[in-house]
């Protein structure tokens, strides 16, 4: 890895020399020799040659203004095509040829499972034809797809279908026109045979929109939930943000071969089938939740992303942070607000904090990038959404909504920057956001420490807050940020409570709250009002009081998380196993005997923090001690509260499956109880009973998981029964693969090896690969972090193998290996060696090179 590859830098941005006013494409499909004829109407903006990106393409011909272009008039390289003197306006015609069948990177146009499909974001369009493949070149697209319609009945692209023509050779040519100018990353083309589920939506202003879902043959019924979710999302965006859909047709295609969750192509979303298909036999409550949220997310992009897009890819959070925020608000309204907040915060505290502590640390608006696909990160997306949420908290919902509206009105049809967004917020609200902008440029996890002094005589509460952001791999010096800290002040003696928002802007600040009559207890960082680590010196009893008394469900859950973190820290410090206090047992007993009305929250309160959340609090991470302590606590709770778990479990009756919040809560709490009961004498019987009696996969998986973590005798038999029953159903097989991958024993290695030979497994399918290996590296800490290095070696070998097949996937999978500095000396050495081996191996993709090289410097 001695060569240095040059990243692109935000500071080097230059506007394009040419715009493409119209893009005409004719795509003649063929598995190994697809021909793409493009006709581009260009117009000069500034001086310079006409640059067209192009990668892995075979150039067949070029014509400029109706005449062939001589070889001295252009330069061709493996990155693209430069036309030296194209004039100020003109028509450029380029013919290219590509091989969709061989395209296992799943970027550009590919053929998998008999379906032609595209993925162009971020820079995939350049694998289809030579083009200024950058988000600030917006063009009106007209696309003709030519294919044999007997084999490929559906030929789809963006916008409206304007013509169908039978060709003399028996093929069909279907033409689509998208009236909205768009960057090439939003282009899409699909050709295949599907089941279609269709309905309509009437917008607030009375326009009728046709909604169509295209899914694998035989699975049409499973798209019903997603279709209904789309209708809810469309209504919600009208009501919450005043935004209507703008085309006459909205299509969603579900495919099994897809690198990520979904893609918001204008009028033609392409989805990973995992986030469309659902019925009670094959999708869990959690799957339903994510389907609704991702359907919403892609739909919301129609305004935040498509109508107003990014000037350059450094601005990715402009559309992603904002759209994740919008989908979170949607989920909070559709499902449980408390649970959706808990879900989002868990992700920040695990993956995002870990990213800040890793060699890949970057601000939500990165400053340099080698491979853009590496920056579709939890930082850009989820911390980006937290930044938007802070704006809403600081400005208030009304002014925030006005700012959102101003942003879209002001920039409709443009490609803009994060600064433009903040400016619109500032202009609409009249609030100075100068210092707030630092959230876009500064990376890292701020740490906020709080102390409080209550002066009974003066009835005053003095709160002192200090902030500090530790250096990150990419940035050494840090400045104070604007940090909104929501608090609730409880007065346990009088049951009085009040809320306040403290806005921390300096390194240290004091806030005085008057008229506090009795000794208060402060609930800090309510709703996780800023993406920070909060340090507060409460005792275990104080955390338990908050968990029992805070008015906000999220705050109660958070207090329990802090409680357990404290218990574990104390135990690890004194080298002992943690013990359960009578207060904790009494609180848990109470929750089990009289659950809160919100059963899902009750389950969350009874759940120990996961390994990753805890790991983020240590440097180095005491892997073995943490895992031992967690296991010990689980067993202690199971033993000491067996009767109470059992009582609660028996009260929760099975009802015919519906995805509905009360039932979701019941199943969550039932699963939680079973996860403890599995460790008792009654475990085997209860687990088997739930597995057999359940009419849905949520309860069945809960039983399988409970059995697995308690290492019950009949686990293998249950797993085989599941695998046999769903032998042809990849939606369930993926869950089976993941379950096997999380087996907490050395046997997992043999089983993983066997499963790579399973008829449904393919190295070319990202869903299958992730089901096995991401599940292993992210959710089997015990075996992944084995001190003998077997877990790390397995993941490294998978990464090496995949890099040639699908670099994007390889680069995702390597993430857990990068942060070697976070572990003890021994593990550091194991990891570093593996990374060095990877680096010295054969040519690495840019995707992998960027991550490995950062990790090793």
CB closer to ligand B3K, 262 vs 361 = 262
Structure-block tokens of residue 227:
């279709």
Chosen from Zn ion, ligand B3K, none, partner binding at 260 (C-beta under 5 to 8 Å by type): ligand B3K
Enumerate residues 6+ apart whose C-beta is below 8 A from 397: none
CB closer to ligand B3K, 373 vs 445 = 373
Chosen from ligand B3K, Zn ion, none, partner binding at 121 (C-beta under 5 to 8 Å by type): ligand B3K
Helix boundaries (H) for 522-610: 540-549, 553-573, 582-593, 599-605
CB closer to Zn ion, 323 vs 709 = 323
Contact of 154 with 261, CB cutoff 8 Å: no
Element (H, E) at 529: none
Helix boundaries (H) for 804-845: 807-813, 815-818, 825-840
Which is nearest to 279 in space by CA: 662, 671, 698, 692? 698
Instruction: Kindly report the number of other CB atoms within 10 A of residue 28's CB atom.
Output: 18
Element (H, E) at 228: helix 224-241
Cis peptide before 323 (omega within 30 of 0): no
Q: Which residues bind Zn ion (CB under 5 A)?
A: 320, 323
Which is nearest to 33 in space by CA: 123, 96, 118, 125? 96
Contact of 258 with 265, CB cutoff 8 Å: no
CB closer to ligand B3K, 121 vs 343 = 121
CB of 323 to ligand B3K, least distance (A): 7
CB of 122 to ligand B3K, least distance (A): 5
Q: How far apart are CA 668 and CA 90, in angstroms?
A: 62
Chosen from ligand B3K, Zn ion, none, partner binding at 155 (C-beta under 5 to 8 Å by type): none
Cα dihedral 223→228→230→233 (10° resolution) = -150
- β-partners of residue 498 are 489
Q: Which residues bind ligand B3K (CB under 6 A)?
A: 121-122, 260, 262-264, 297-298, 301, 320, 373, 376
| Strand positions, DSSP E, 469-528 | 483-491, 496-504, 508-513, 521-523
Distance, first Cα to last Cα, the chain: 12
Q: How far apart are CA 612 and CA 351, in angstroms?
A: 8
CB of 155 to ligand B3K, least distance (A): 23
Chosen from Zn ion, ligand B3K, none, partner binding at 335 (C-beta under 5 to 8 Å by type): none
Residue tagged active-site, from 280, 298, 386, 604: 298
Chosen from Zn ion, ligand B3K, none, partner binding at 486 (C-beta under 5 to 8 Å by type): none
CB of 204 to ligand B3K, least distance (A): 24
Q: How far apart are CA 270 and CA 266, in angstroms?
A: 10
CB of 783 to ligand B3K, least distance (A): 29
CB closer to ligand B3K, 69 vs 112 = 112
CB of 630 to ligand B3K, least distance (A): 33
CB closer to ligand B3K, 18 vs 376 = 376
Quickly tell me which residue has 């079973």 as its tokens: 674
What is the DSSP code (8-state) at residue 616? T
Q: How far apart are CA 230 and CA 271, in angstroms?
A: 13
CB closer to ligand B3K, 264 vs 604 = 264
Chosen from ligand B3K, Zn ion, none, partner binding at 122 (C-beta under 5 to 8 Å by type): ligand B3K
The radius of gyration of the chain's CA atoms, rounded to the nearest angstrom, is 28
CB closer to Zn ion, 300 vs 657 = 300
| DSSP per-residue codes, 696-725 | SHHHHHHHHHHHHHTT-TTHHHHHHHHHHH
Which is nearest to 71 in space by CA: 84, 87, 58, 90? 84
- Reply yes or no on whether 264 is catalytic: no
CB of 394 to Zn ion, least distance (A): 24
Which is nearest to 282 in space by CA: 652, 688, 695? 695
What is the DSSP code (8-state) at residue 472? B
Chosen from Zn ion, ligand B3K, none, partner binding at 237 (C-beta under 5 to 8 Å by type): none
Quickly tell me which residue has 């309510």 as its tokens: 526
CB closer to ligand B3K, 423 vs 808 = 808
User: What length does the chain have?
Assistant: 857
Chosen from Zn ion, ligand B3K, none, partner binding at 742 (C-beta under 5 to 8 Å by type): none
CB of 723 to ligand B3K, least distance (A): 31
Chosen from Zn ion, ligand B3K, none, partner binding at 263 (C-beta under 5 to 8 Å by type): ligand B3K
Helix boundaries (H) for 314-368: 316-334, 337-347, 353-356
CB closer to ligand B3K, 183 vs 671 = 183
Contact of 118 with 109, CB cutoff 8 Å: yes
CB of 720 to ligand B3K, least distance (A): 36
Helix boundaries (H) for 606-660: 611-615, 623-640, 642-651
Enumerate residues 6+ apart whose C-beta is below 8 A from 723: 733, 736
CB of 124 to ligand B3K, least distance (A): 8
Active site residues: 298
């Amino acid at each position: 890895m001695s060569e240095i590859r040059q990243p692109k830098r935000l500071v080097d941005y230059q506007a394009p020399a040419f715009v493409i006013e119209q893009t005409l494409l004719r795509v003649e499909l063929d598995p190994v020799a697809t021909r793409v004829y493009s006709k581009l109407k260009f117009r000069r903006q500034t001086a310079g040659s006409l640059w067209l990106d192009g990668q892995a393409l075979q150039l067949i011909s070029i014509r400029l203004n109706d005449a062939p272009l001589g070889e001295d008039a252009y330069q061709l390289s493996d990155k693209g095509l430069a036309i030296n003197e194209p004039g100020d306006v003109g028509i450029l015609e380029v013919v290219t040829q590509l091989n969709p069948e061989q395209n296992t990177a799943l970027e550009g146009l590919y053929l998998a499972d008999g379906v032609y499909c595209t993925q162009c974001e971020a820079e995939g369009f350049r694998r289809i034809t030579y083009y200024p493949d950058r988000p600030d070149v917006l063009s009106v697209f007209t696309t003709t797809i030519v294919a044999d319609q007997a084999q490929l009945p559906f030929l789809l692209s963006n916008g409206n279908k304007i013509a169908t023509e039978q060709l003399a050779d028996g093929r069909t040519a279907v033409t689509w026109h998208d009236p909205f100018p768009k960057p090439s990353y939003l282009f899409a083309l699909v050709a295949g045979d599907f089941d279609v589920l269709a309905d309509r939506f009437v917008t607030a202003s009375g326009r009728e929109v046709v909604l169509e879902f295209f899914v694998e043959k035989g699975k049409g019924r499973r798209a019903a939930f997603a279709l209904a979710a789309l209708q809810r999302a469309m209504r919600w965006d009208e009501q919450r943000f005043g935004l209507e859909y703008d085309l006459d047709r909205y299509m969603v295609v579900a495919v099994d071969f897809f690198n990520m969750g979904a893609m918001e192509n204008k009028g033609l979303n392409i989805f990973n089938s995992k986030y469309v298909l659902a019925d009670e036999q094959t999708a869990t409550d959690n799957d339903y939740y994510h389907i609704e949220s991702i359907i919403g997310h892609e739909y919301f992009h129609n305004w935040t992303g498509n109508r107003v897009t990014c000037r350059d890819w450094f601005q990715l959070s402009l559309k992603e942070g904002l759209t994740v925020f919008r989908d979170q608000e949607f989920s909070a309204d559709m499902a449980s607000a408390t649970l959706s907040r808990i879900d989002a915060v868990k992700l920040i505290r695990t993956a995002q904090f870990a990213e800040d502590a890793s060699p890949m640390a970057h601000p939500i608006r990165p400053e340099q990038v080698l491979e853009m696909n590496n920056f579709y990160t939890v930082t850009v997306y989820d911390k980006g959404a937290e930044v938007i949420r802070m704006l809403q908290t600081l400005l208030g919902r009304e002014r925030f909504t006005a700012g959102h509206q101003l942003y879209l009105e002001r920039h409709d049809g443009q490609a803009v920057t994060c600064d433009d967004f903040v400016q619109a917020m500032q202009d609409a609200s009249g609030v100075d956001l100068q210092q707030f902008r630092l959230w876009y440029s500064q990376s890292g996890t701020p740490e906020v420490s709080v102390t409080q002094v209550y002066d009974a005589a003066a009835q005053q509460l003095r709160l002192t807050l200090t902030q500090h952001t530790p250096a990150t791999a990419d940035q050494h010096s840090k400045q104070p940020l604007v940090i909104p800290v929501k608090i609730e002040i409880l007065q346990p003696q009088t049951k009085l409570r009040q809320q306040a928002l403290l806005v921390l802007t300096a390194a240290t600040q004091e806030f005085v709250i008057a008229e506090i009559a009795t000794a208060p207890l402060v609930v800090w960082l309510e709703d996780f009002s800023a993406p920070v680590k909060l340090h507060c010196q409460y005792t275990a009893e104080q955390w338990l009081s908050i968990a029992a008394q805070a008015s906000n469900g999220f705050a109660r859950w958070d207090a329990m998380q802090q409680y357990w973190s404290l218990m574990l820290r104390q135990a690890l410090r004194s080298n002992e196993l943690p013990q359960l206090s009578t207060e904790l047992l009494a609180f848990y007993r109470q929750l089990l005997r009289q659950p809160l009305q919100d059963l899902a929250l009750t389950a969350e309160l009874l759940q120990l923090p996961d390994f990753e959340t805890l790991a983020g609090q240590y440097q180095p991470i005491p892997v073995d001690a943490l895992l031992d302590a967690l296991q010990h606590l689980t067993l202690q709770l199971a033993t000491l509260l067996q009767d109470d778990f059992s009582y609660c479990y028996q009260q929760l009756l099975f009802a015919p499956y519906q995805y509905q919040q009360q039932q979701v809560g019941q199943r969550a709490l039932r699963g939680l109880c079973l996860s403890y009961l599995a460790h008792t004498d009654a475990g085997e019987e209860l687990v088997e009973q739930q597995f057999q009696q359940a009419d849905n996969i949520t309860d069945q998986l809960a039983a399988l998981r409970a059995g697995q973590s308690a290492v019950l005798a009949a686990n293998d038999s249950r797993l085989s029964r599941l695998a046999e029953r769903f032998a042809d159903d990849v939606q369930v097989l993926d869950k089976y693969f993941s379950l096997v991958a999380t087996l907490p024993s050395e046997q997992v290695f043999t089983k993983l090896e066997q499963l790579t030979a399973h008829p449904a497994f393919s190295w070319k399918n990202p869903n299958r690969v992730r089901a096995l290996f991401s599940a292993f590296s992210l959710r089997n800490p015990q075996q992944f972090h084995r001190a003998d290095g077997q877990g790390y070696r397995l993941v490294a070998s998978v990464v090496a193998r995949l890099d040639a097949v699908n670099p994007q996937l390889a680069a995702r999978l390597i993430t857990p290996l990068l942060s070697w500095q976070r572990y003890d000396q021994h593990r550091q050495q194991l990891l570093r060696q593996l990374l060095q081996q990877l680096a010295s191996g054969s040519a690495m993709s840019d995707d992998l090179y960027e991550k490995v090289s950062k990790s090793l410097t």
